Amino acid sequence: MLIRHKRASDVLSSEITSHSTFLNRRELLRSAVATGVIAGMSPFMLSSSASAANQKLPNVKKTEWTEQALGENEALTPYKHVTSYNNFYEFGTGKGDPAKNAHMLKPKPWTVVVDGQVENPGRYDFDDLILGNELEERVYRFRCVEAWSMVIPWVGIPLAKIIKRLSPRSNARYVAFETLVDVEQMPGQRLMTLKWPYREGLRIDEAMHPLTLMAIGLYGESMPNQNGAPIRLVVPWKYGFKSIKSIVRISFTEEMPPTSWNMSAPQEYGFYSNVNPLVHHPRWSQAKERRLGGPTNIFGFTPKRPTLMFNGYEEEVASIYQGMDLTRNY
């Protein structure tokens, strides 16, 4: 008899938004945006443009990560917070700028270039890149380096499935990613806040880890532009800026690739960027976090909570950093 032992990252059913609440939210969305799934179309062929956001993704597989969270009496972060409070500097540096400006992004058609130390390089259409993979729903904690956090039900496929299809060579030790560069679609790129394109990277074993997700939606619906349409990375044990959005290039490399925030402020942002309450940002502590949309106290504020090592996924990922000094390799 197989007995599944409870892990620190397991979520109670109380974490999941009630069915009635979810339906009520969808009714509100229908009144604001005309949505629907055209009969016979693949979910990957649905438009991800701002006008077509909130389209339900059909045939999404429930997984062991569907019902996970931190503890009792904590719901998923409300949809309005997930889609209106974002870091996406390509659309502006304010938290509300992505939701305001992301309608300019045209995520269909979309292609992703694959190059470097890989047997199957090329320019892949978005639909072809994920073709044949069943969509999965995974509820992950999401922690921003600025000490706010969310609980988000992502929809996507394990990155490992894409990597196996692309067949990296034996000397490929890292996977690098780049975001679209187009100042007409992404007006924030007119400012040299960062050196564009936005770049991120993972070690190959991090990229192949079962938790690492390539997401194309959230809350059972297509990915909103401001959240990284049409395809983004989700690495739940790392700070949010590692989960690069609107990906147009995947490169396999022998050497550690440059990453945007490490290039911009190496004294503040390392390559690994694992959630670690013992390693503080030079300008603030990482020991606690505030859950957006969480329950408030008598003063109307959401109390802070202790930050968990690896964002609560320590049991799943700590072994891949065995022997490393995580205060130096931050």
> How, if at all, do strands 247-253 and 174-179 pair?
antiparallel
Q: What is the pLDDT along the chain (330 residues), one digit of tens a residue?
A: 333 344 434 443 333 443 334 434 444 433 333 333 323 333 333 333 343 467 899 889 988 776 554 455 568 999 999 999 999 999 999 999 999 999 999 999 999 999 999 999 999 999 898 888 899 999 999 999 999 999 999 999 999 999 999 999 999 999 999 999 999 999 999 999 999 999 999 999 999 999 999 999 999 999 999 999 999 999 999 999 999 999 999 999 999 999 999 999 999 999 999 999 999 999 999 999 999 988 888 888 889 999 999 999 999 999 999 999 998 899
**Would you state the structure tokens that stand for residue 255, as one six-digit string?**
């050497």
Beta strands in the chain, from DSSP E residues, in sequence order? 61-62, 111-116, 122-125, 136-143, 148-158, 174-179, 199-203, 213-218, 221-222, 232-234, 247-253, 288-291, 304-306
DSSP labels for 237-258? TB-GGGS--SEEEEEEESSPPP
Selection from 324, 308, 326 nearest residue 316 by Cα:
308
Q: Does domain 13-321 sit in CATH 3.90.420.10?
A: yes
pLDDT at position 45 is 36
| Contacts of residue 203, Cβ cutoff 8 Å, sequence gap at least 6 | 173, 174, 175, 320
C-alpha 116/C-alpha 130 separation (Å) is 19
CB 72 within 8 A of CB 13: no
**Would you state the structure tokens that stand for residue 99, as one six-digit string?**
């939701």
pLDDT at position 285 is 93
Q: What is the DSSP letter of 274?
A: B
Each domain of the chain, given as residue ranges in start order, spans: 13-321
C-alpha 161/C-alpha 156 separation (Å) is 11
pLDDT at position 50 is 41
pLDDT at position 238 is 98
Which residue type occupies 252?
Answer: F
**pTM above 0.95?**
no
CA angle (164 as vertex; 163, 167 as ends), nearest 5: 85
Q: What is the DSSP letter of 292?
A: T
CB 105 within 8 A of CB 246: yes
Backbone angles phi and psi of 72, in degrees to 5: -75, 155
250: left (phi over 0), alpha (psi -120 to 50) or beta: beta
